[in-house]
Amino acid sequence: MDVDNSNMIMWPYQMRLNLRSIIIYWVLLVVGVIWSCQTEAQLQRIVIGTNPSGTNYFLIASGIAKVLQSETQIPSTVRPFSGSSVYIPMLQRGEIPLGINTQLDTYVSYSGLDPYPIQMTNLRLLAALMPLLDNFLVRENSGIETVSDLEGMRVVTAIRSNVALERWHLALLATGGVSPDGIEALTVASLPDGIRMLIEGRTDATAIGLDTGLARQADATIPGGVRFVSIGSDYSKLVDALPGSSAHTAGTESVGIHTSTKVGRFDTYLNTGTHISDADAYLIVKTIYENWEMLQSDYVLLQNISVDMLVPSNNPNPYHPGAIKYWREVGVWTSEHEKNQTHLLMRLN
C-alpha cells in the first residue's frame, strides 16, 4: 500500500512558517502600538497666537515657529490676533496650542481679575522669552517729556483687544501723579490703531513697546520723529498693578529714546494650556532651549536673555508638568520654582 507522505513532510515546514508569521504579527503589533502612542503624544500642528504683525511678539513667535518646524518636523505657524485678550480664552479652552502673552495679561487672566469674568485656570507656562520695555510714545515736537506732562492731554489708555493693558497704562500715569480724571482717556481697538491715531494727530500719546516695528513706523512717518516719555518716580504704582514688574532705564540705542529714559518693564511668556500633553510640552521647551543661541543670533531682542532668564521663579501662573520635567533635567529648576509652583496650584483649590 502506497502511503502519501507529502503532508507529513510539509507539516514541520508549515509549523515553522506559522510560528514565524505569529512572531512577525506580534512584532508589527507592538511597533504599531508604540508608533500610535508617539503619534498621539505629538501635536499634528503647532499654532502660536500673538499680537498683530509689527509687534515684537509677532516677530519672536515667527522665529520660534521656524525653529519648531525645522527641528520637530511639525508644521508650525504664527496666528496674529488683535490682542492677547482674544486668544488667552482660546488657550483656556484648548483651541490653540501656544500663545505669547505679557506677564500682565497672564497675571490678571489666571487670577480672574478684570476683564476676565472667571479665572483662566488652564493657563500653563512653558518659558519666559524676553522682557518688554513699554511706555507712552509722543511726537518729538510735542514738548512732552514725562508722564506728568500728559496732564490734560488726549491719551490712549484702553485697548479693546488687550483689555488688561489699561491697568498697566494707568499705573504708568500714576507714577507721575496723573489720575484717570486728569486726562482725556481714549479707547482704540488694537495697538496699531493707537499708533495710527498718533500719526494722524488724533491723540497726544499712546503706549507701545520699545524697539517694535510700530514704534519705528511712527518715527519714520511723523515729521520730526517720536519720543518715549519718562515715567515718574513712584515705581510702587507699577508693582501694585503687576507684581514682579519694575522700572528700567532705556538707552539711546532704541528708536524714540533721545536721552536716558525711565520706562516700565515686565516679562513675556510662552504659554500653553492643560490640554497639551506632557510629551508635547517637553518637546517644545527642549527644542527652544537647545536652539536658544541660534534664536539669539537671529533676533536682537533676545541677545541679552540668558538661559536662566527663560525660567523665572516669580511667574503668576503654574508651569506645565512637561516643561518642569525638562527644566529639572537641565538643572535650572530650583526650590524657589517648586515653592511658587506649589503655591499657584494650591490657589486653584
How many angstroms separate the CA atoms of 210 and 193, rounded?
Answer: 17
Instruction: Kindly state which CATH superfamily the domain 133-265 is placed in.
Output: Periplasmic binding protein-like II (3.40.190.10)
Best CA proximity match to 285, nearest among 299, 267, 271: 271
- Over the chain (349 residues), the average pLDDT of each successive run of 10 is 46 48 42 36 88 88 97 96 90 96 94 90 96 95 97 96 92 97 96 96 96 94 98 96 94 92 96 97 97 94 89 95 98 97 88
How many angstroms separate the CA atoms of 112 and 266, rounded?
Answer: 19
Is the domain covering 47-131+267-347 a CATH 3.60.10.10 domain? Answer: no
How many angstroms separate the CA atoms of 95 and 92, rounded?
Answer: 8
Domain ranges of the chain: 47-131+267-347, 133-265
Cell reading at 196: 495710527
pLDDT for res 85: 83
pLDDT tens, 265-294? Answer: 999 999 999 999 999 999 999 999 999 999
User: What beta strand segments (E) does the chain contain?
Assistant: 46-50, 76-80, 98-102, 123-139, 154-159, 184-188, 205-209, 226-228, 246-250, 261-273
The answer to whether the CB of 159 falls within 8 A of the CB of 132 is no
pLDDT tens, 95-110? Answer: 999 999 999 999 999 9
**CA atoms within 13 Å, Cβ hemisphere of 67:** 23
Domains 47-131+267-347 and 133-265 share a fold: yes
